[in-house]
Structure 1
Amino acid sequence: MASRFFPSRRTGLALAAGCFLFSALAAANVRPGDLSVSQIEEQLQNCPLVESLNEHKRATTPETASLTSRIFAVLFPSTPAVNSLLATLYISGPPNFLLALCPPNIDPSSLSIMVAFAVGGLLGDTLFHLLPEIFLGEDSPDHVSFVMVEPNKNLLLGLGIMVGFFTFVAMDKALRIATGGQGHDHSHGHTHEDSTTASSTGANTNGQSGELKQRKSTKSAQEDGSKDETTEKEINPSVKMAGYLNLIADFTHNITDGLALSSSFYASPTIGATTTVAVFFHEIPHEVGDFALLVQSGFSKRKAMGAQFVTAVGAFLGTLIGIAVQEFGGHGDVLEDSTVSGLWGTSLSWGDMLLPFTAGTFLYVGTVAVIPELLETGKDKGAEIRKTLTQFLAVAVGAGIMLAISWD
């Protein structure tokens, strides 16, 4: 048991608070094993030494809330369940409406800077917010907090992170098998090249026919143009199938986003808000890239936008599943016979495992799924150096925003 306030005094505080706790329990004829973690925390707050630390902490805490805290309070004013649904609406609505401003022939590779910014946001949220919250909990502005070292609890949390990571490995592998070896991100570039080649071929055909038939009437030229358009719209079946498989992958990915939002808000309002920001940063290039792939697969701009709105339902589904797990997943409390009712003999519940699962998925998306795309280089060394510096700057800005929110 160790205090997370005044680290230089950590050992002394733990001993003093522990001595007070066991003295109080002995006076009340209560065994430590009869108490849950929350009840032990409550007993520790009654320790005179801890009470004095609480008074000092409240006296040194700024009276006025920070700007980010006030903004988050306006955006997320209710319970964790309601705030989770609001966050899902925020990350699903605006990015999809932005697609109306995107040209149909957008090149997904031009989104590399935006993707780098999203990577910084996802990794920043994972390293600055999620992982500290998973293993240590969140600090409170009103009182000092204690970390209860519980056998096998950290191991189970680490297992949850690994399960989340390899869940996305399995999803990516399945998609690569279904599309003949092309992953979700890399398929964007390949299909774009295919469609570009088809367009170029069509343009050359138009030029040749124009040279051979310069004296054709306007009506005949219009008829030939309509035939060329029909030829251009004939999409390779594998490319068209990749578009539909991408919709399935996008729907599944959005479910995990919803799980991430719900688990984060049940952990704390701050973690929920920062996770919403990170997911929002990621969703913009993700949605634009998927939109471009659908257009290249034969969708019209309107149908591609409609399909993206349909996949957004997955985020709400994931949020509702996460809320149900949190509300009905049970709580890991210590019973009167000193047996623990949580998972595998710990105080953890199924709801507590959603946040580690989220951290694992974020680690995969922010590293394995995206970093290879940022490592791709061209032959122009000077241009690649400038591009790399810009990408690193974008990563630093994304991570810096997460750090600033956490620090504030």
Structure 2
Amino acid sequence: MLATTIAGVASITAAAVFSFALLSKMVERMVSLSVGIMLATSLLHALPEAFESNADPRSLFATLLIGLLAFFMLEKLAILRHSHHHEGDGHHHAHGHDAREAGKSGWMILVGDGMHNFTDGILIAAAFLANPQLGIVTGLAIVAHEIPQEIGDFIVLLNAGFSRMRAYVYNLLCSLMAIIGGLLGYFTLDKASGLIPYVLVFASSGFIYIAVSDLMPQMQRRATVRESIPQVLLIALGVVLVLFLTAHH
């Protein structure tokens, strides 16, 4: 409960602070750090945890495949994520483009976020049931990838005509879906512990998909050595952070 609440409130509050202050450089840095945390959490901790269980490895790999394809389809349907471009992002849209786009997509973003937060809650519950340390690291990974996403959401909502306070309150209400997902996950997965490895693998597929298909291509657009060195160092820092937090496991 505490982890899902902190993950939701911390990421949204931090996103509000960053986006209202328009610290765009900090946003780029957060993306790099979150890639390291998400990939390390998935590949070095959650997946090994799942494969060390008694679950059939072929079934777990099938779940990973299904998860990757499911996240691809969710993105296609514009449910999971949405265009986070905004004026001044170098995409050369006509002036007013984003306000028009956002006006149509503001509420869709909130619906998508609610669903996303619900699955994050289930994931945190599954991770805590598997191993408390994994739960903490998973919560951290979710906060790290939620902050850049929520900043993008805030910018789109502000363009859509939401006031700062209204955008913050609606996003905060959406974060409550994580608590509902966490409660549901805790009470159902506790009775069906055999499902935990599959939930961990499915959630890992989401982390891997977001990191590899969305965040890393964003980073590749900034290809100069001066921009690449901090990216690589921050990815490494994310990996080291996960290894440090799980060292005693």
Supply the distance in 1 between the matched residues of 2:234 and 2:26 (Cα, whole angstroms). Answer: 14
Shift of 1:260: 1.1
2:46: which partner in 1?
130
Shift of 1:243: 2.3
Scaled by the length of structure 2, the TM-score of the pair is 0.87
Shift of 1:235: 3.6
For the pair 1:287 / 2:165, whether they are aligned, the reply is no
For the pair 1:262 / 2:125, whether they are aligned, the reply is yes
Shift of the 124–351 alpha-carbon distance from structure 1 to 2, 3 Å rule, reads closer
2:226: which partner in 1?
386
Supply the distance in 1 between the matched residues of 2:155 and 2:169 (Cα, whole angstroms). Answer: 13
- For 1:44-63, what aligned pairs fall within 5 Å after superposition? none
Letter in 2 for 1:406: T
2:31: which partner in 1?
115
2:73: which partner in 1?
170
Letter in 2 for 1:354: V
Contact 2:49/2:197 (8 A) holds in 1: no
Contact 2:118/2:177 (8 A) holds in 1: yes
State the Cα deviation string for residues 289-316 of structure 1 (Å, max 9, x = none).
2112211222111111012112102212
Supply the distance in 2 between the matched residues of 1:406 and 1:258 (Cα, whole angstroms). Answer: 21
Q: 1:307 is matched with which residue: 155, 170, 176?
A: 170
2:203: which partner in 1?
358
For the pair 1:400 / 2:231, whether they are aligned, the reply is no
State the Cα deviation string for residues 74-130 of structure 1 (Å, max 9, x = none).
xxxxxxxxxxx1110110122223345345473767622211101100111111111
Letter in 2 for 1:359: S
Shift of 1:398: 0.7
2:64: which partner in 1?
161
1:318: which partner in 2?
181
- For 1:211-230, what aligned pairs fall within 5 Å after superposition? none
Shift of the 283–184 alpha-carbon distance from structure 1 to 2, 3 Å rule, reads closer
- For 1:68-147, what aligned pairs fall within 5 Å after superposition? 85-102=1-18, 104=20, 106=22, 111-137=27-53
In terms of fraction of residues, the more helix-rich structure is 2
Supply the distance in 2 between the matched residues of 1:290 and 1:302 (Cα, whole angstroms). Answer: 14
Supply the distance in 2 between the matched residues of 1:240 and 1:104 (Cα, whole angstroms). Answer: 19
Give the number of aligned pairs.
247
Shift of the 325–195 alpha-carbon distance from structure 1 to 2, 3 Å rule, reads farther
Contact 1:254/1:315 (8 A) holds in 2: yes
Supply the distance in 1 between the matched residues of 2:103 and 2:170 (Cα, whole angstroms). Answer: 14
Aligned-residue CA RMSD in angstroms?
2.8
Q: More relative contact order in 1 or in 2 (CA 8 Å, sep 6+)?
A: 2
State the Cα deviation string for residues 258-317 of structure 1 (Å, max 9, x = none).
121011011111211211121122222222221122112221111110121121022122
1:276: which partner in 2?
139
Name which one, 1 or 2, has greater alpha-carbon Rg: 1
Scaled by the length of structure 1, the TM-score of the pair is 0.55
